[in-house]
Amino acid sequence: MYISAVLMTALVTACQERNPAPFIDMSGVYFNNTSGTMTVTDSLDLTFVYESGDVLEVPVRVQLVGRPSDEERPIDITVDSENAVEGEDYVLPSSAVIPPGAAFADYVVTLRRTAALKQQKKMIRLTIHPNAHFDIPVTHMVQLSDTVSTVDFRIYFSDMFTKAPAAWEENLVGEFTQQKFELICRVLDIEPDDFNDPNVITLAKLLYISAEMTAYVQGETERKAAGEPYDEDAFDKRTGEPLTFR
């Protein structure tokens, strides 16, 4: 009986230690977004080049610290930028809340594809603040040698390439340019993201693309020479020369 009483006391004590009073009483929020390696990150770099549409929805995760509530609770998030304009370059949700019973919420920012993004990368910064419902108990996280913010989150976005897509082969379709890529996708009705999968854009597919686009540019060149309407995108915007796909 003595041993049982001691074990019971130890179990009760252990349960109490797992739920300390400060945690029970705490109500806080912080940005908790992970990269492909599942490490927490405080920024995201996006491009529209592989998107067929003109909008891109970006969920930004807000994590609760403490117990969920039976009531909806607003979060205080501000958004600012030095080169992006709300309503023109991006659209914000009508409200930011932690729903009843939830341990997190996604604040979804909608990015818009504009002509300026082909020449300039834009950035918006989200900042989370304390309010009457939530404190900010976590301001940063240290991961190996990297320290990331959990109160600020930056979204960089453009409509430019940083490198050629994975399936592009220069010896089959020529030197990569964004103009050539976009013309291929438009003329041959190919999804931009297909070029990141060599199993979809195979070597045989690239040979087909080369032949079809060479014929297309030749046709547009003949139309231009005859004074007929032609596709201006079939000609290099810098030199005026016909694009080549071989």
In order of start, what are the domains of the chain with their CATH numbers?
A: 23-158 (2.60.40.2030), 170-234 (no CATH)
Sheet containing 27-31: order of strands: 27-31, 55-66, 104-112, 90-91
Q: Which residues of the chain have pLDDT under 50?
A: 1-21
Task: Find the helix or strand (DSSP H, E) in which 108 lies.
Answer: strand 104-112
pLDDT of residue 103: 96
pLDDT of residue 145: 72
Please tell me the distance from the alpha carbon of residue 153 to that of residue 140, in angstroms, as a whole number: 11
Q: Which amino acid is at 210?
A: S
CA-based nearest residue to 97, from 88, 107, 112: 107
pLDDT of residue 24: 55
Name the token pair of 195. Answer: 């070029």
pTM (global) more than 0.85: no
pLDDT of residue 171: 93
pLDDT of residue 22: 53
Listing DSSP states for 161-184 in one string gives -SS--TT--HHHH-S--HHHHHHH
Task: Find the helix or strand (DSSP H, E) in which 216 lies.
Answer: helix 203-225
